[in-house]
Amino acid sequence: MTATDTFAPPPGLEEVSLRLIPHVLRPLPPLAQEMFERFMLAFGGQATHLNGYTYLGGGTGQPAAALDPPPSTNGREAWEQHALVRVREICEGLWSEDYDRWPLEELAQALPGYFSEAARGFAYTMQPLMIVAGPTSQLMVFCGEKLEAVGDRDRLVAALVQGVDNESAARGMELEALAPLAQASPALLAAVRAGDLAAAREAEGGEAFGQAFDAYLEDYGHGSQTWWELHTPTWREAPGAALRLLAGYVADPSRAPAAAHARSAAERTDTIAQCEAALEDDGDRERFRALVEGAVDYVFVIEGRAHWQQNCVGALRPASLALGRKLAEAGALADADDVFHLRLAELGTLAAEPSGAMLDTIEERKAELGSWGALAPPMTLGPPPPRPPEGGPPNPIALMFGGPAEETGDPMLLKGKGASRGVVTGRARVAFSLEEAEALQPGEILVCPFTAPSWMPVFTTAAAIVTNQGGVLSHAAIEAREYGIPCVTGTESGTRRIPDGATVTVDGLEGTVRIHSD
């Protein structure tokens, strides 16, 4: 397949509704594609890759992975005491294995099993999803029926589940906690700003800082920087991004995570008070308090799942790279990282009889991957998805993924979903990776396909967020509200229609992005 191919459904899926999956910012190389396909099959889904982009649809609903059922119908308990225990055990097992001791062919034969094990871990992260969605759905019903005068139902629910402890907020606050250590000496702070961990360790105060930073990476450095990007280094491998983000906290403490989280919690308290004041019946107030309490764990579980989903991806890098190194030593690959441009079966064949037979193919695939990044994949393919049944309960999962963008008829105006209120005018910074997002300057507006938990520190710099995909409970929306910055999600075409460097006005209440002609 070449970059000029259309995004036509493959044979057998012409009548299936396919949807471009959120979280995938860029096209994936073959090994990452196969990983994601296995992840989806593990819990009964199906992934289809077209020009490297990932579409979902056509799954059987029957999980391929054998999972222990959750013992609790409480979302937090189902996550913390059951699913998290199992996915952590799987990831730690994959992290701790000494892959270099394996002979080449044996490691290649074992790799599919490692992929299946990581897929089983991913399937466990999906288990609590519907459990935790139930109470949030009930809160949505109540807000729609009783609190229309207070505000839009979806945004109201989003505000009511914000400001609670979660893994993404902790990622930023624990990094922020290292700021005093990073300022132990001018040389140490300069090394942190440069993203140079080796120099930081050698500077005055570097020993204490290095130990604390290593502990941080043990918690937050194993996962992929962006969902499903098996081919990109983790923070443990390339800690420069985390160091530079820490330096940003030092430069502007007012935008640091702890203060932002406190503001978000205060806004949640204010929203609860507004809702209670609008309810005239004591029974309604009591019901409302119970529903808010029941839904309080939604973001906690969703963001915890996201963190460990990225860990499931990162857990496969050590084995993959070890195989890549062995194949490179045998002359079958030009570089260890080229392993990501082959599928498992191809790697098995190459390991059995190492040769340069795939070298040209790999270079062709690299070129295709670069070309595919310039394409604009359609959000859906095939027939439209079936409508939810009339009178059925609202689905908070839909608020995570969002719906189609609204056509404005104006090429200079985009309409998505207002996910975090506020109006900001600034320079657009279009980014498809965390590395590109690092270039964001204070006052600039981040325009991207989606965000991931590891992007969270970037929110301390952005003046506003605009995404192609997602709804009011997407990761970008959750963290934008956490940091009190405007956010418009689900524009579908933001990264394509907004030129990098253009002046834009983002209205996070109306869900609009105005592109100025300058």
> Binning pLDDT at 50, 70 and 90, where does residue 4 land?
very low
Q: In percent, how much of the chain has pLDDT > 90?
A: 64
Which pLDDT belongs to residue 49?
Answer: 94
Which pLDDT belongs to residue 212?
Answer: 98
Q: Provide DSSP, 204-241.
A: TTHHHHHHHHHHHHHHHSSS-SSTT-TTSPPTTT-THH
Which residue in 35, 26, 27, 4 sits closest to 339, CA to CA?
A: 35
Tokens of 8: 């036509």
Kindly calculate the radius of gyration of the chain based on its CA atoms and give it in whole angstroms.
23
Provide the b/e sequence for 266-297 (b: ≥16 CB within 10 Å): ebbeebbeebeebbeeeebbeebeebbebbbb
Which residue in 79, 296, 300 sits closest to 168, CA to CA?
A: 300
Which helix (H) or strand (E) element contains residue 362? helix 359-372
pLDDT at residue 202 greater than cutoff 90: yes
pLDDT at residue 2 greater than cutoff 50: no
> Binning pLDDT at 50, 70 and 90, where does residue 3 land?
very low
| Higher local confidence (pLDDT), 26 or 457 | 26
**Which residues, in sequence order, are CB contacts of 152 under 8 Å at separation 6+?**
418
Which residue in 229, 137, 224, 55 sits closest to 473, CA to CA?
A: 137
CATH architecture under which domain 401-515 falls: 3-Layer(bba) Sandwich (3.50)
φ, ψ for residue 135, nearest 5 deg? -60, -35
Euclidean distance between the first and final Cα of the chain, in Å?
Answer: 40
- Averaged pLDDT of the chain: 91
Sheet of 53-56: strands edge to edge?
47-50, 53-56, 18-20, 380-381
**Which residues, in sequence order, are CB contacts of 184 under 8 Å at separation 6+?**
203, 204, 205, 206, 208, 209
Which pLDDT belongs to residue 60?
Answer: 84
Domain boundaries, the chain: 1-131+296-391, 401-515
Please give the average per-residue pLDDT across 121-150, as a whole number: 93
Q: Helices 298-314 and 84-96, interaxial angle, to 10°? A: 20
- How many CB atoms within 10 Å of residue 144? 15
- The three-state secondary structure class of 412 is coil
Task: Report helix, strand and coil shares of the chain as percent, to nearest 5.
Answer: 55, 10, 40
Which pLDDT belongs to residue 430?
Answer: 95
Interval 342-356: pLDDT, tens:
999 999 999 999 999
H helical segments located in 78-224: 84-96, 104-126, 128-146, 153-160, 167-176, 179-182, 186-194, 197-202, 206-220
DSSP conformation class of 406: B
Which pLDDT belongs to residue 122?
Answer: 96
Report pTM. 0.90
Q: Helices 104-126 and 344-352, interaxial angle, to 10°? A: 160
Please give the average per-residue pLDDT across 255-280, as a whole number: 89
Cβ distance 312 to 319 under 8 Å? no
Which pLDDT belongs to residue 35?
Answer: 97
